Structure 1
């Protein structure tokens, strides 16, 4: 496995009020609502999630960096596991015209409110059982999704990503390296189920036979 940083520059641009996230609202109730993956999570009040997740072009540099790193070309197939509103997949079509993109997500709201241009390429489903044949995609990616799964589903999802990818794979998850980052992650997250250090994530990947790239984002 190789450690790469496609999302970290974007992640570190955002300032976060960790104590405010905990003190201003009932955090447990906010998490309960968030894990319904509906309008409240994507486009409702900030206490429940994104506070309005709208297309603004921020994912284009990420798509361009991935396309260059993995040598993507027209006709290649890319799958995003946990694609949400699929803004990153849309940017792949801009970065590499002629590329084929497919997205899968558990949120029907996100899929219904994805970029109109690629809604036909999106499917509803769970990461633990991908509805695709072996070796179906040149690149399989999953960003900020797998930490929302508990261990049995997590290992299954990583195995599925390994199974359907024929060339390159990339997984990004939330993690922590010290007590400060662990507390900040606990304060900030709403949907995380697997709170793991990079070393523990590496163990999960080993158990699943994963052979792709990884990225960890931290809450410093």
Structure 2
């Protein structure tokens, strides 16, 4: 298992006002979280004070991430790739641009996201929970999950990580939110609206060892 950071350029491109997120008079943190956890319109395309504020495809935004991952894992035409927590499938679509002929699949707990997914790959996406993936054992050449597993309760993390292992032949990558100090912990608490597993890197490593997760990983920090 290696630490490989593919996400920092995208994560750090967003400016964040942590205190405004918590203290907004119309959508204070608790109200925003209640709305976001429905995983519907408010989470994806509602007010920016709730979450994304309009999650739309942006040419080139995810393509550079897809290329880095495709190059690192040696993906080629015909390989089967699964995105656990795929949202609207934007990264998966960009994978098909950088590796023509790649066979992409995605799962997400949000009906709204799948219904409003990128039209070109919509038929390859399915509504499913990470703890029970509707795919055969060792079915995919590469399985990844970005900013999804920290949204699971601790009691579901073990099963979800084991499911990720089960459907993968070998190559895997996961990115989750974490914190290394009290400042990052406070910022994470202020900014997130759906996180349930608040784990340090050491705690995530404990989960990986417990479940025999042998893929690569990285962490998102709110510095």
TM-score for both structures, normalised by structure 2 = 0.97
Q: Partner of 2:137: helix, strand, or coil?
A: coil
Residue 76 (structure 1) aligned to one of 64, 76, 79? 79
Q: What is the SS of the residue equivalent to 1:138?
A: strand
Q: Distance in 2 between matches of 1:199 and 1:164?
A: 25
Q: What is residue 44 of structure 1 aligned with on the other side? A: 46
Residue 2 of structure 2 corresponds to which residue in structure 1? 2
Partner of 1:212: 215
Alignment of 1:45-194 (within 5 A): 45-57=47-59, 58-194=61-197
Identify the residue that residue 37 of structure 2 maps to in structure 1.
35
2:152/2:195 contact within 8 Å kept: yes
- Once residues 152 and 194 of structure 1 are traced to their aligned partners in structure 2, the CA distance between those partners, rounded to angstroms, is 9
Which secondary structure does the structure 2 equivalent of 1:128 belong to? coil
Q: Aligned pairs, how many?
A: 220
How far apart are 1:167 and its partner, in Å?
Answer: 2.2
Contact 2:21–2:28, Cα closer than 8 Å, also in 1: no
Question: Offset at 1:60?
Answer: 0.2
**What's the CA shift string for 1:44-88, capped at 9, x where partnerless?**
001221000000020000000000000000000000000000100
Q: Which sections of structure 1, spanning at least 5 residues, go unmatched? A: none
Q: Which runs of 5+ in 2 are unaligned?
A: none
Query: 1:9 Cα shift?
Result: 1.5
Aligned to 1:12: 12
2:130 counterpart SS class: coil
Contact preservation (8 Å) 2:80, 2:141: yes
SS in structure 2 at match of 1:109: helix
Aligned-partner Cα distance in 2 for 1:89–1:214: 18
CA distance in structure 2 between the aligned counterparts of 1:196 and 1:154, rounded to whole angstroms: 11
Separation in 2, partners of 1:15, 1:26: 19
TM-score (norm 1): 0.99
Instruction: Give distance in 1, aligned partners of 2:31 and 2:157.
Output: 24
